[in-house]
Structure 1
């Protein structure tokens, strides 16, 4: 093991400098009101920002109201939603210097869904409400193919609607900068709108936005260009993708397709690829196990020569350290495990004999003062 474990070595995404390689990925909390962050987010984001992680990425944040996954999802589509988010950031940053980025998203055909903790699951059809009395809405997608046959079908987007959504991403990026966010991640994964355009299983268009791989990449690449132009060049922009749909036999989006996409993104100035998988078909044949998505990250890293964020059932510090040592990723996203143990980075520093940032109020929690894990 190196003198400083790789997990705790400094790291950068573009020009954004991070103290370590632990990243908290976007995780929806479904607790916003009309797109606005509230009391829960003050607590939650504060917890994440004082965890010792090198970077916090805020949950999938819709660029327009219809782009929310659920009625409880966050937005940044106007002054009110941006101001609510800024209030959270201002409070958190009084106690934490951890960089905070945002994931900008449009849920496409998977919008208007019940929250994960709602007793009811699935799509909220137009005219129906969720358990909080919030109404559903008409979803949009590249083609009028529902994610689940039980869902209300999405409306196929016109070219004018595509142009408007691309602009909405750019406008959201401007707001993200104005409220002081340190970076933007674009959500091209998990069966949401950009992912739907990429996949031949959800994109059956016959115009310039469908058919060939080049055409199916058109809308996501337009989004990236627009955001990269709108967001300050000194701040990073990167993309989360589903490296595979786990639907190879059916002709779905593949690792080779992802490599082609990532090459194009790199040419356009993408600073990193956050490598996940799946989410675009209820019939996916996902093989979940420890580190199951790391081979995709490594393949993209080697083929494209781009900074990659690895993720996938990594719950132990040793697993994350081994993934970095093997060259499978440049940084590691720790998601659900950090919800279960919000001070996972402290535990990792203790187990790997490293140092980690913590508020001085927590320093007396040092399990072994001789190790000085909260040291400089």
Structure 2
């Protein structure tokens, strides 16, 4: 046990010193989950698992964010089936024995009033890759063959037999039975999430992985009920949402991550029809549908589904997507929450996004890797005094913990 932990980010003295609490540091209630602030650790693959199990690395990694004051920690893309992993080093939740290591992370994080979620995923045609932090692997995108002597590869499945690039495997087009099995696997993984004590589930529908590849006309050439029209291409995602919701009951928060824009245009050399693939207007339309199926949060990112994507990462480059979707929700008086992600690395920008109404939560990735105590750093940037892990209170003489007033 860690001992008593403050239930909010603020002591009485802090509240007296601060004139106005920034939105970034205010609570947010989503269904039965109340976050102490708007900081979310974005799901980031660590490629440090063996056979999908959560181990000591994951425990140390994720609980550092809990001690650092994050409101919500979203655990990395976790395969609902073995062949749904991006690499052999990815975490999984396809069998009950994988629950224990995950539950250990959740229980300890709860000691610090942090909520914990997980991103349930299937990598589709981008599965069976080498662990990217190994020498030369990051940009190779080379599929490990299913019969490789290392045993680290497997057969790759997708919406259509279209590889992501010339050196990745041609995926096996999924049969209706394959699709139904995957949907059932998402449902079974959600049951394990309940047993692990998780607070939040995000379904991974972005970055060219399985669900994302079904959404786009550039990767989905099916002629059955899971292809063709917009309604056909979103069918897999909707059925996954419904399956998860059948066990992850309505009082529990559910999110979906999407690539709001595939980021391909006619000028990029795309010859498919329609030329632009999946775009922001499709995402706005999808948002209204997802809300009808009891999705609470949409997490817009971009790209990842096409090798010809044209993306120029600059600070806040995903925020216009969040803002466009959020505005469409406001126009129809919807309740769907929206997050912002993508090169957000300081407190001023985070707060301005929330103040402008472009998003309700800030998902931060690499900044948390650089500093697990990011809320403390951002508090300093905003001249705000906050409480944090009581075991570290003796460090309060540090200028990081006091306002400059």
TM-score above 0.5: yes
Q: Find the partner of 1:85 among 86, 102, 105.
A: 102
Counterpart among 93, 115, 123 of residue 131 in structure 2: 115
Match of 2:370 in 1: 340
Equivalent residues of 1:54, 1:99 under 8 A apart:
yes
Superposition RMSD in Å: 1.8
Cα offset, 1:2, TM superposition? 7.3
**Closer, same or farther in 2 for the Cα pair 1:125/1:356, shift >3 Å?**
farther
- Equivalenced residues, count: 369
Contact 2:109 2:115 in 1 (8 A): no
Structure 1 residues 225 and 356, CA, compared in 2 at 3 Å: closer, same or farther?
Answer: farther
1:97 aligns with 2:103: no
1:355/1:23 CA distance change after superposition, 3 Å: farther
Corresponding position of 2:259: 242
Residue 262 of structure 1 pairs with residue 292 of structure 2? no
Deviates more, 1:113-122 or 1:333-342: 113-122
Q: Quote the offset at 1:87 in angstroms.
A: 3.0
Larger Rg: 2
Quote the Cα distance in structure 1 between the aligned partners of 2:36 and 2:62: 18
Q: CA distance change for structure 1 residues 344 and 200 in 2, over 3 Å: closer, same or farther?
A: same
Shift of 1:46: 1.2
**Aligned match of 1:106 in 96, 103, 122?**
122
- Match for 2:65 among 42, 45, 48? 48
* Residues 189-218 of structure 1: CA deviation (Å, up to 9, x unaligned): 111100010011110000010011110000
Residue 197 (structure 2) pairs with residue 197 (structure 1)? no
Q: Cα distance 1:92–1:329, how it changes in 2: closer, same or farther (>3 A)?
A: closer
Unaligned runs of 5+ in 2: 1-17, 267-274
Query: How far 1:355 sits from its partner (Å)?
Result: 4.6
Confirm whether residue 323 of structure 1 aligns to residue 373 of structure 2: no
Distance apart, 1:11 and its partner CA = 1.2
User: Does structure 1 residue 124 correspond to structure 2 residue 141?
Assistant: no
Given the two structures, how large is their TM-score scaled by the length of structure 2?
Answer: 0.87
Taking the TM superposition and a 5 Å limit, the aligned residue runs for 1:129-168 are 133-168=150-185
1:182 corresponds in structure 2 to 199
Residue 357 of structure 1 and its aligned partner are, at CA, apart by 4.8
Partner deviation per Cα, 1:5-49 (whole Å, 9 max, x = no partner): 111111122331101111101001000110001111111011122
Please say if 1:312 is aligned against 2:352.
Answer: no
Is 1:62–1:105's contact at 8 Å kept on the other side of the alignment? yes
**1:8 is the counterpart of 2:21:** no
Cα gap change, 1:357 to 1:160, in 2 (>3 Å): farther
Give the conservation status (yes or no) of the 8 Å contact 1:248–1:254: no
Structure 2 distance, partners of 1:45, 1:34, is: 19
- The answer to whether residue 324 in structure 2 is matched with residue 293 in structure 1 is no
CA–CA separation in structure 2 for the residues paired with 1:164 and 1:356: 47
Equivalent residue, structure 2, for 1:68: 85
Kept after mapping to 2: 8 A contact 1:8/1:354? no
- Aligned pairs (5 A) from 1:213-228: 213-228=230-245
Aligned twin of 1:283: 308
Question: 3-state SS of the aligned residue for 2:339?
Answer: strand
How far did 1:369 drift? 8.9
> Structure 1: how far apart are the matches of 2:400 and 2:105?
33
User: Which of 266, 272, 278 matches 2:297?
Assistant: 272
Separation of aligned partners in 2, 1:186 and 1:369? 36
Larger mean Cα displacement after TM superposition, 357-366 or 163-172: 357-366
Say whether the 8 Å CA contact 2:377–2:400 is kept in structure 1: no
For the residues of structure 2 that align with 1:24 and 1:33, how far apart are their CA atoms? 23
* 2:380 aligns with one of 332, 350, 368: 350
**Which string of whole-angstrom CA distances, capped at 9 and with x for unpartnered residues, describes residues 316-346 of structure 1?**
1111111111221111111011101111111
**Gap change, CA 1:15 and 1:248, over 3 Å in 2:** farther
Uncovered stretches (5+) of structure 1, i.e. residues with no partner: none
Q: How many angstroms does 1:229 deviate by?
A: 1.5
Matches of 1:370 and 1:282, distance apart in 2:
45
